[in-house]
């Protein structure tokens, strides 16, 4: 039987919930303070003329702003020759959790995917997954205009382009609301590294990234069956 939290009366539960709420509010305020400091970071100029191949042909980084003042880019790994099921589970989780940039665009921010694979190889995958954000190929591109970060922020000032921020690792979790929601549940993410009570479920063989040999979102795509 899976372990569960102790059972208490409503007053006891409310008291402990209120104690945790104090820490949650402090955490929220700390996050706001970090965001304020992030907005005050200096910026570095990059080559806005770097060209990447997309659905409409070669486009410069400056073009990717689409007339807006800001640009966010997400780097997507690509495993050559691995087929759809063999593509990066972490990149899939990140991008699947962020399907639409409408609210970003309303604040003058464009969004694009920079994929490490060749365009002709990943274009069918983008269509298969149903992604609507523009994808561009990093294949063969070596320029200081292309950040090593997984998630990158740029600012356009006239025809000049500046990088203002980059992050990787768990910094990309900002794009994954599913993780934030799992953190609210009793059993959390059910990952081995989590600090959970004894007996809480953890399955090292099937994380929330993968199931039965595929990144989990792929099982929702038309035509995908257990034998495909």
**Beta carbons within 10 angstroms of residue 3's beta carbon:** 12
User: pLDDT (tens digit, 9 = 90+) per residue, 110-163?
Assistant: 999 999 999 999 999 999 999 999 999 999 898 877 888 999 999 999 999 999
C-alpha–C-alpha distance, residues 162 and 108, integer Å: 16
C-alpha of 198 from chain center? 30
What string of H, E and C letters represents the secondary structure of 154-166?
EEEECCEEEEEEE
Q: How many CB atoms lie within 10 A of CB 199?
A: 10
Full-model pTM: 0.93
Q: Which domains does the chain have, with CATH numbers?
A: 42-228 (3.40.30.10)
What confidence tens digit (pLDDT) does each residue in 173-215 have? 999 999 999 999 999 999 888 899 999 998 766 677 888 889 9
């Amino acid at each position: 039987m899976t372990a569960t939290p102790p059972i208490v009366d409503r007053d006891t539960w409310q008291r402990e919930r209120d104690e945790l709420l104090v820490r949650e509010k402090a955490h929220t305020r700390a996050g706001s303070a970090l965001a304020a400091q992030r907005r005050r970071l200096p910026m570095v100029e990059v080559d806005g003329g770097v060209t990447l191949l997309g659905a409409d042909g070669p486009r410069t980084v400056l073009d990717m702003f689409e007339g807006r003042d800001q640009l966010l880019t997400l780097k997507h790994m690509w495993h050559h020759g691995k087929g759809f099921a063999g593509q990066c589970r972490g990149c899939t989780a990140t991008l699947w959790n962020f399907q639409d940039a409408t609210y970003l665009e309303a604040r003058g921010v464009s969004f694009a995917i920079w994929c490490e694979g060749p365009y002709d190889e990943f274009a069918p995958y983008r269509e298969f997954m149903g992604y609507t954000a523009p994808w561009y190929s990093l294949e063969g591109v070596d320029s200081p205009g292309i950040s090593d970060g997984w998630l990158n922020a740029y600012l356009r000032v006239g025809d000049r382009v500046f990088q203002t921020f980059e992050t990787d690792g768990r910094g990309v979790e900002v794009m994954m609301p599913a993780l934030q929601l799992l953190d609210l549940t009793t059993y959390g993410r059910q990952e081995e590294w989590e600090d959970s009570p004894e007996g809480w479920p953890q399955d090292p063989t099937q994380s929330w990234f993968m199931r039965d040999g595929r990144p989990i979102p792929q099982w929702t795509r038309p035509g995908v069956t257990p034998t495909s």
